[in-house]
Structure 1
Amino acid sequence: MRIIRFEEKESKKVVLAAVTEGGKIYSLPYASFIDVVNVATTKSVQPLELINEIILDTLPLNYSLEKLNLLVPIEAPEVWAAGVTYQKSKEARNHEATNGKLDATTFYDKVYDAERPEIFFKSTKERTIGPNSQLYLRSDSNWQIPEPELGLVLDGKGDILGYTIGNDMSCRDIEGENPLYLPQAKVWARSCSIGPAILLAESVEDPYNFDIMCKIYRNEELVVEGSASTSQLKRKFEELAGFLKRDNIVFPGTVLLTGTCIVPPNDFTLNDGDQIEIEISGIGKLTNLVKSQVVQIVR
């Protein structure tokens, strides 16, 4: 069972809905996924059981999922990310830090093998976008890439409620220049996208069996393609969530991105107009257009 949010074309009303394995869409009488979780907790049932009760005597919506104006499936108050959780990511970070001299041992090697994972702050709901919205390039970077990742949707205790897709945009030149520049290499307006859905944790038999695919198109031509599996992950999801909640406040609906294993070639950087497609089995496809425009935050 997947959870989505979409905007109705005519009324502009935001609708929370459930999508069955058969592709049928059912409206839910709640404003957010966390509302579903809270009601399920009150009734001492799992969210999946609550949703099945709701849709049992309900007719599905006469909508096609492909034609919906999908929004972020959850307005995450915070998005965090884990780094160097895959061998491929460690190799890419080493390339940035050593100018291609991979024979040197770096702090990326150390964190890959360390007990404590790398976890960093990535985004807020104001900086995060959903499917088919525009990601922005950072104006002071010349080497930027997407990072396709499986995202964990957490409750206030740090437990995993579901899974989504995340794009942790990254400036390889800024991080490579100095690791202390990591916040600037990772955090700027519209540097993170999540969606198109939340796959309920109860619906997943083996979370280490997700297939991840990424395609980047330029002028409608495929220029980068890669695939990976969460079976290649160095760490367990509960381990990453456990370190995030250690001596910390985890707000309900927080998303934790779990790292990438798909890295474009070292001579590749995103350009204005590129289209990024990230697909994870069972969750869907997250598509975003890249723009060089700088967004202005209204306070």
Structure 2
Amino acid sequence: MDSSLADLLEMPAGQRAEQIHEEVTTSGAHIAFDDAWLLPPIDEQEVWAAGVTYERSRDARMEESQTDDIYDRVYDAARPEMFFKAPPYRCVGPYEPIAIRHDSSWNVPEPELALVIDGHGDIAGYTIGNDVSSRSIEGENPLYLPQAKIFTASCALGPLIMLADEIPDPRSLSIAMWIERGDAVVWRGETSTASLRRSLEDLIDCLLVSLEFPVGVVLMTGTGLVPPAEFTLEASDTVHIRIDGIGTLSNHVRRLAPRRRAK
């Protein structure tokens, strides 16, 4: 296609649909999906994330934290937790490695339905997000949230963007995650977006109330799947996340080496 994602997300929904149809039907280049090297479905967009939007997420955050009541309060509050997750260059796509911090003892993947929102605040499509997080760092002090959430390759997106009109009911999607270590599946879980505490519209309104995203934004909607306290990701694990109607996002895990400024 000649149009970039940023170009398409600047357009109103009707114009975008016409542009996609025209470019798909007139393009002579076709590549089989299984033969394609898939990049993260993002170009100039920031990635933001909502937190504590499922009951299981609230319970897990209370379990890890020394100040557990704040998560109980935000779960029922009018204003949701909302935080910046990643710029485009810090995101990875399918089959690229996600990362865990070297200074964290408790690391988890967080599978999430991600909304691709256009520059007018409308949902253009849906993809899968993995909000890789350090539970030990955030649990030590909630003010460490940015360090627990924002680091190299802590955000995976993919495998594609399913257009909004192809998902008639985004509140009834099954989400499954399984984690492989060697030849064994060491953790598996399943949930549904029906368990989401807040409406997608409320999350979008909260994000956009004082922010503008002319070329669109990706908003991850929170996780309802959290491995138990005794589980932590390890280097060489493989995380698979499947959402009905979108596909499967798979990533290997690597551990980041400590970085120091040059003297």
Same fold per superposition (TM over 0.5):
yes
Equivalent residue number for residue 75 of structure 1: 43
Share of identical aligned residues, percent?
45
Deviation at 1:158, TM superposition (A): 2.7
Following superposition, the deviation at residue 37 of structure 1 comes to 4.0
Identify if the C-alpha distance between structure 1 residues 222 and 248 changes in structure 2 by more than 3 Å, giving closer, same or farther: same
SS in 2 for 1:222: strand
Residue 36 of structure 1, CA deviation:
2.9
Instruction: Give the aligned partner of residue 172 of structure 1.
Output: 135
TM-score (norm: length of structure 1): 0.81
Q: Answer whether contact 1:78 1:251 (CA < 8 A) is retained.
A: no
Partner Cα separation in structure 2 for residue 168 and residue 55 of structure 1: 31
Q: Distance in 1 between matches of 2:259 and 2:163?
A: 34
Structure 2 residue matching 1:149: 3-state secondary structure? strand
Q: Distance in 2 between matches of 1:294 and 1:251?
A: 36
Q: Of 233, 256, 263, which residue of structure 2 is paired with 1:270? A: 233
Change (3 A) 1:46 1:236: farther
Q: Distance in 2 between matches of 1:251 and 1:37?
A: 8
Normalization by structure 2: what TM-score? 0.92
Partner in structure 1 of residue 59 of structure 2: 91
Matches within 5 A, 1:77-226: 77-98=45-66, 106-226=69-189
Which residue of the partner structure matches residue 29 of structure 1? 2
Q: Work out the CA distance in 1 between the residues paired with 2:156 and 2:23.
A: 29
Deviation at 1:73, TM superposition (A): 1.3
Gapped regions of structure 1 (runs ≥ 5): 1-27, 99-103
Match of 2:21 among 34, 44, 52: 52
- CA displacement at 1:169 relative to structure 2: 0.5
Q: Secondary structure at the match of 1:45?
A: helix
Question: What's the counterpart of residue 11 of structure 1?
Answer: none
Deviation, 1:56, is 3.9
Structure 1 residues 176 and 246: alpha-carbon distance in aligned structure 2, compared to 1, 3 A threshold: same
- SS class of match (1:198): strand
2:33 is the alignment partner of 1:65: yes
Q: Alpha-carbon deviation of 1:282?
A: 1.2
- 3-state secondary structure, aligned to 2:65: helix
1:154-191: per-residue Cα shift (whole Å, max 9, x none)?
A: 12233221111100011011111111110011001111
Report the residue type matching 1:176 in the other structure.
Answer: G
In the alignment, the residues of structure 2 paired with residue 36 and residue 295 of structure 1 have an alpha-carbon distance, to the nearest angstrom, of 39
Larger mean CA deviation between 269-278 and 249-258 belongs to 249-258
SS of the aligned residue for 2:89 comes to: coil
Alignment-mate amino acid for residue 35 of structure 1: D
Deviation at 1:67, TM superposition (A): 2.6
Contact preservation (8 Å) 2:93, 2:157: yes
Amino acid in the other structure paired with 1:163: Y
SS at match of 2:232: coil
Name the CA distance, whole Å, in 1 between partners of 2:54 and 2:178. 19
Cα separation, 2, equivalents of 1:251 and 1:143: 37
Q: CA deviation at 1:208?
A: 0.4
Of structures 1 and 2, the one with the larger relative CO (CA 8 A, separation 6+) is 2
Render the CA deviation track for 1:241-277: whole Å, top value 9, x for unaligned: 1111112232423111000001112100000100011
State the distance in 1 between where 2:237 and 2:214 align: 33
CA contact (8 A) 2:102 2:258 kept: no
Matched residue type, 2:48: W
Q: Distance in 2 between matches of 1:252 and 1:159?
A: 12
Unpaired stretches in structure 2, ≥5 consecutive residues:
none
Runs of 4+ in structure 1 off by over 3 angstroms are: 53-60, 293-297
Q: Distance in 1 between the 2:192 and 2:53 partners?
A: 12
